[in-house]
């Protein structure tokens, strides 16, 4: 049993939103993703998907994308991305998965999971205070996301695990930036790894990667990974 990660699948089985406009590497990306996933992931494995799963606006509109994800090997844990407009309450999403028989898809929303003795926590995140153009409105959302991350981490307190991996969609911070808010929470809870997505193409040059103050940071955007889930454990 292994644990993998990937993000920003941007599936569009029912919505006309081709990604190849963002670069040649996105041509036939869903076929490439499917082929690589099947070669890499086994049925009993876990895959942590760090947001931006589908271009659908509503949950029912995302049915074809969830059907595609369900057909792929492994058990998937999803956190919210900035383009996941279909995201709704935990109860509604779980009910929808039950009704459709999508029994290997789970949602990370103020809760936590333990996969193979690894505690999995997380939240969407938001623009970091060290981002250009950060506003008071952004500050309100950012602080709310910090609270949701702590709720997720606290949900692990009574569970049995060896180490913690945190899933985010937005980068936790940028190299050389001045914001420590999220980093301090990760350190305070003894998080071992933090995985995230959101960044594509040239923006990946600004991705924090590697060990920072004892925590390993791993960007997992599809185009960063050449559309192949990366193994974490």
Query: What pLDDT is stored for residue 186 in this prediction?
Result: 96
3 state DSSP class of 120: strand
Question: 99-113 pLDDT, tens per residue?
Answer: 999 999 999 999 999
pLDDT of 61-94, one tens digit each?
999 999 999 999 999 999 999 999 999 999 999 9
pTM of the model: 0.95
Give residue for tokens 């301090």. 184
Given a contact cutoff of 8 angstroms between Cβ atoms, the answer to whether 165 and 232 are in contact is yes
Give the relative orientation of helices 63-71 and 90-100 as an angle to the nearest 10 degrees. Answer: 70
Beta-strand relationship, 210-212 and 215-219: antiparallel
Which residue in the block uniquely carries the two structure tokens 């279909």?
86
Task: Return the minimum-mean-pLDDT range out of 16-20, 37-41, 159-163.
Answer: 16-20
Residues whose CB falls within 8 Å of the CB of residue 170, separated by 6 or more in sequence, listed in order: 82, 124, 125, 126, 127, 128, 196, 198
Q: What is the DSSP letter of 221?
A: B
Residue listed under structure tokens 């099947």: 38
Please give the C-alpha separations between residue 189 and each of 113, 192, 193, in angstroms, as whole numbers.
15, 9, 11
Domains of the chain: 3-231 (3.60.21.10)
- Burial track 73-106 (b if 16+ CB lie within 10 A, e otherwise): bbbbbbbbbebbbbbeeeeebeebbeeeebebbb
Across the range 136-140, mean pLDDT stands at 95
pLDDT higher than 90, residue 200: no
């Amino acid at each position: 049993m292994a644990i993998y990660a990937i993000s920003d699948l941007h599936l569009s089985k029912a919505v006309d939103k081709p990604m190849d406009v963002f670069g040649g590497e996105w041509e036939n990306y869903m076929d490439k993703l499917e082929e690589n996933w099947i070669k890499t992931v086994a049925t009993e494995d876990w895959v942590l998907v760090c947001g931006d799963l589908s271009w659908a606006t509503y949950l029912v509109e995302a049915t074809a994308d969830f059907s595609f994800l369900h057909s792929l090997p492994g058990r998937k844990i999803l956190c919210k991305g900035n383009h996941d407009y279909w995201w709704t309450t935990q109860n509604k999403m779980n009910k929808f998965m039950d009704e459709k028989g999508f029994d290997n898809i789970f949602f990370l929303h103020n809760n936590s999971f333990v996969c193979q003795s690894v505690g999995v926590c997380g939240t969407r995140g938001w623009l970091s205070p060290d981002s250009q153009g950060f506003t008071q409105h952004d500050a309100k959302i950012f602080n709310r996301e910090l609270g949701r991350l702590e709720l997720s981490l606290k949900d692990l307190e009574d569970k049995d695990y060896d180490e913690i991996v945190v899933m985010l969609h937005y980068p936790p911070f940028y190299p050389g930036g001045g914001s420590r808010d999220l980093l301090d929470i990760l350190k305070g809870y003894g998080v071992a790894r933090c995985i995230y997505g959101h960044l594509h193409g040239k923006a990946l040059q600004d991705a924090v990667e590697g060990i920072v103050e004892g925590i390993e940071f791993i960007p997992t955007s599809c185009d960063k990974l050449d559309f192949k889930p990366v193994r974490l454990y």
